[in-house]
């Protein structure tokens, strides 16, 4: 089997054919090694019968390589060997190469058959999937990405669950006094953490104190919290300085997943009570295993594997979405809750501080001139409140720029590097901005390397992103505004966040849904009228869901997956269940 270094060499000279003349220093620079190391590599490939190598004689003379084998044949032989020994790392690496898709097309079905639901001889069910992005954070307090939020909820549990209303979780019952200043939660007995320790009210107290320490004393949900008192091992009380009638709804959020705070905690590893636990996390694989002592129904899936690849080309070279139906996936069109948006970084002391420039950008980002397949035009966070603004125009943008005093300085727009639709929209905004006389510079960022750092706060004037709420109710919007890990809190100045905090407190204190909705619109209008926030679309997406996920949603709820895929051959044991 040929090595990745040799494959890199063939790709580097692919357009030159089988005989290549080159300068050794140039090849050394490409490999980022010394000239001597480069020569040793070439001699090694020569000894293996892959090529002949003639070093250049004297100063200025070119060296020469003669490749002895057809590169396509070399790749297909390597793929066959990788499939034989089940080396998924090599398989995915080969599918990511910039070679004609037809070269490896014959292996697509074989590789796809390794994915999806696998039932082993011992009836162990493994759901194996591809992820083109590494898991960055599963810490319940830090989690900011929808997929990672979902995974955190598989690893741990909250006191109360949200499922078309409030449902018992780790607490089987809860009450408050008449003024809603004391909340009492009655815990399930015998619930175990993944390390075998039994959960008690002390773990609840420590978890909430950890959250309070991380989000700050002024966080809107906990601002009135005075103390937490474990009354018994299975009873815990929360005391507030002011009425908190909605506190039971707040605790369904992932940040309040009860963890064993006495064990070590990092971004990917912590001890919870959930239906699954993390058993492996490397650069190549992320693996979850069902927790046999889970207090609820034991999951039907025994193991979930994410095979990690670092190049989105895998999706193009391996999967044609229309072919998913040939395997275990079904296609659904879903109106994604929440909204996509562009937000201004008000902490940057650049031209973005100029409200006339921001208003010009609002006119430039007119979704009537973009791909309508992206979704419905948004003017608010909630789809039902959005109305397309037909008064936007390029003429207005140009007039505003003339009044603003803008003098050609670049405005940096941050866009996710792995989402083609976002990149296309960013380029469209760039082109329309140029028509209005604004120079947009695009900076590509990733969740893995940039989102949890200060790159966005320090280097961009605008950020394009989407918010997909986990619990799609009236509080999703407030969580979007107030979560320390999401963009609103990162992009607004301290003074603006103080103004926002006052409105959020009014929202929390409002006694009815109707009054809270009015305040939500007031907040959203404040953000959009000052052009801090420019909504773009409410996304509509074709999503491809493995049939084993019986809930049929745009999610990864493995603990509630009970439905066997259509056409799946059941074992004798499964038929008899």
- Is the same domain home to 52 and 131? no
How far apart CA 529 and CA 45 sit, in angstroms, is 65
- Is the same domain home to 294 and 429? no
316 found inside a domain: no
- Is the same domain home to 43 and 184? no
- Is the same domain home to 42 and 119? no
Residue 86 tokens, joined: 């089940």
φ/ψ region of 165 (left if φ > 0, alpha if ψ in -120 to 50, else beta) reads: left
368 found inside a domain: yes
- Contacts (Cβ under 8 Å, ≥6 apart) of 263: 193, 195, 270, 271
φ/ψ region of 190 (left if φ > 0, alpha if ψ in -120 to 50, else beta) reads: left
Q: Are 440 and 428 in contact (CB under 8 A)?
A: no
Q: How far is CA 334 from CA 322, 323, 384, 410, 549, in A?
A: 16, 19, 15, 37, 16
Model's pTM, two decimal places? 0.78
Q: How far is CA 314 from CA 73, 96, 193, 240, 309, in A?
A: 20, 5, 37, 52, 7
What pLDDT is attached to residue 41?
Answer: 94
3-class secondary-structure state, position 48: coil
210 found inside a domain: yes
What pLDDT is attached to residue 521?
Answer: 97
Of 192, 188, 195, 189, whose CA–CA distance to 263 is shortest?
A: 195
Q: CA triplet 201, 202, 205: central angle to 5 degrees?
A: 90
Q: Where are the alpha helices (DSSP H) in 165-246?
A: 201-215
Can you give the CATH number for the domain in which 18 is found? Answer: 1.10.10
- What letters, b where the CB count within 10 A reaches 16 and e where it falls short, cover 412-448? bbbbbbbeebbbebbebbbebbeebebebebbebebe
What pLDDT is attached to residue 323?
Answer: 47
Q: Are 20 and 65 in contact (CB under 8 A)?
A: yes
- Is the same domain home to 123 and 247? yes
Q: Are 247 and 509 in contact (CB under 8 A)?
A: no
Of 31, 47, 69, the residue at which a domain comes to its end is 69
322 found inside a domain: no
Can you give the CATH number for the domain in which 252 is found? Answer: 3.40.190.10
What average pLDDT values come out for the chain (577 residues) when binned by 10 residues?
Answer: 90 91 92 93 94 85 93 93 83 81 79 74 83 84 87 96 91 96 97 96 97 89 95 97 94 95 90 95 88 92 83 51 48 81 96 97 94 86 93 96 95 90 92 96 88 90 91 87 91 96 94 94 97 94 59 66 51 33
- Is the same domain home to 344 and 413? yes
What pLDDT is attached to residue 331?
Answer: 63
Domain with 9 in it: 4-69
- Is the same domain home to 370 and 508? yes
How far apart CA 287 and CA 307 sit, in angstroms, is 9
**SS3 track for 138-179:** CCCCCCCCHHHHHHHHHHCCCCEEECCCEEECCEEEEEECCC
Residue 17 tokens, joined: 């054919």
Helix (H) or strand (E) holding 573: helix 572-576
323 found inside a domain: no
- Is the same domain home to 120 and 64? no
Instruction: Name the packing angle between helices 494-509 and 474-482 (round to 10°).
Output: 160
Q: Which residues is 198 bridged to in the sheet?
A: 192
Of 13, 36, 69, the residue at which a domain comes to its end is 69
- For residue 86, which phi and psi values (nearest 5 degrees)? 60, 45
Please state the separation of Cα 535 from the chain's center in Å.
20
Of 386, 360, 358, 284, whose CA–CA distance to 532 is shortest?
A: 358
What pLDDT is attached to residue 569?
Answer: 43
- Is the same domain home to 475 and 518? yes
- Is the same domain home to 495 and 348? yes
First to last CA, the chain: 45
How far apart CA 315 and CA 353 sit, in angstroms, is 40
Q: Where are the alpha helices (DSSP H) in 253-343?
A: 313-318
Q: Which residues is 161 bridged to in the sheet?
A: 167
564 found inside a domain: no
- Is the same domain home to 449 and 496? yes
100 found inside a domain: no
- Is the same domain home to 287 and 183? yes
Q: What is the DSSP string of 467-529?
A: E--SS-SHHHHHHHHH-TTSHHHHHS-HHHHHHHHHHHHHHHH-SSHHHHHHHHHHHHHHHHH
Q: Are 344 and 487 in contact (CB under 8 A)?
A: no
Considering its fold, how many domains does the chain have in total? 3
What pLDDT is attached to residue 216?
Answer: 86
What pLDDT is attached to residue 402?
Answer: 95
207 found inside a domain: yes
């Amino acid at each position: 089997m040929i090595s990745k270094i040799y494959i890199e060499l063939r790709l580097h000279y692919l357009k030159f054919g089988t005989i290549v003349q080159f300068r050794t220093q140039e090849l050394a620079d490409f490999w980022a090694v010394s000239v001597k190391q480069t020569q040793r590599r070439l001699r090694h490939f020569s000894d293996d019968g892959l090529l002949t190598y003639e070093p250049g004689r004297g100063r200025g003379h070119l060296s020469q390589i003669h490749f002895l084998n057809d590169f396509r044949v070399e790749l297909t032989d390597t793929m066959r060997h990788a499939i034989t020994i089940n080396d998924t790392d090599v398989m995915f690496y080969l599918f990511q190469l910039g070679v004609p898709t037809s070269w490896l097309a014959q292996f697509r079905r074989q590789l796809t058959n390794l994915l999806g639901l696998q039932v082993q001889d011992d009836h162990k069910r493994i759901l194996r999937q591809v992820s083109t992005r590494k898991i960055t954070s599963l810490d319940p307090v830090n989690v900011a990405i929808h997929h990672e939020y979902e995974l955190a909820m598989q690893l741990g549990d909250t006191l109360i669950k949200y499922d078309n209303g409030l449902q018992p979780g780790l607490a089987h019952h809860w009450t408050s006094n008449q003024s809603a200043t004391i909340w009492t939660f009655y815990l399930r007995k015998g619930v175990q953490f993944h390390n075998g320790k039994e959960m008690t009210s002390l773990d609840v107290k420590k978890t909430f104190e950890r959250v309070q320490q991380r989000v700050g004393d002024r966080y809107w949900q906990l601002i009135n919290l005075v103390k937490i008192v474990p009354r018994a091992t299975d009873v815990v009380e929360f005391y507030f300085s002011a009425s908190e009638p909605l506190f039971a709804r707040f605790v369904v959020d992932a940040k309040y997943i009860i963890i064993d705070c006495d064990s070590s905690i990092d971004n990917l590893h912590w001890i919870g009570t959930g239906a699954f636990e993390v058993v492996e996390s490397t650069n190549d694989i992320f693996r979850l295993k069902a927790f046999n002592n889970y207090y609820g129904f034991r999951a039907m899936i025994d193991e979930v594997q994410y095979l990690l690849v670092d190049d989105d080309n895998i999706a193009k070279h391996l999967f044609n979405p229309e072919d998913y139906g040939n395997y275990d996936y079904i296609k659904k069109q879903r109106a994604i809750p929440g909204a996509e948006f562009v937000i201004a970084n008000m902490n940057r002391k650049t031209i973005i501080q100029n409200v006339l420039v921001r208003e010009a950008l609002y006119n430039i980002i007119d979704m009537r001139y973009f791909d309508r397949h992206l979704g419905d035009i948004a003017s608010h966070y909630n789809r039902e409140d959005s109305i397309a603004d037909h008064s936007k125009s390029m003429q207005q943008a140009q007039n505003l720029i003339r009044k603003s005093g803008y003098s050609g300085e670049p405005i940096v727009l941050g866009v996710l590097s792995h989402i083609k639709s976002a990149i296309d929209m960013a380029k469209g905004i760039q082109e329309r901005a140029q028509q209005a006389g604004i120079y947009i510079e695009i900076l590509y960022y990733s969740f893995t390397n940039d989102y949890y750092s200060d790159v966005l706060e320090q280097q961009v004037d605008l950020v394009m992103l989407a918010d997909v709420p986990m619990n799609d109710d009236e509080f999703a919007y407030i969580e979007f505004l107030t979560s320390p890990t999401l963009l609103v809190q990162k992009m607004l100045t301290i003074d603006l966040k103080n103004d926002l905090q006052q409105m959020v407190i009014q929202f929390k204190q409002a006694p009815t849904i109707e009054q809270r909705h009015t305040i939500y619109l007031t907040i959203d209008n404040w953000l959009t009228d000052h052009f801090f926030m420019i909504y773009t679309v409410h996304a509509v997406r074709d999503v491809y869901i493995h049939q084993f996920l019986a809930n049929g949603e745009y999610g990864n709820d493995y603990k509630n997956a009970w439905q066997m895929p259509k056409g799946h051959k059941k074992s004798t044991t499964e038929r008899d269940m």
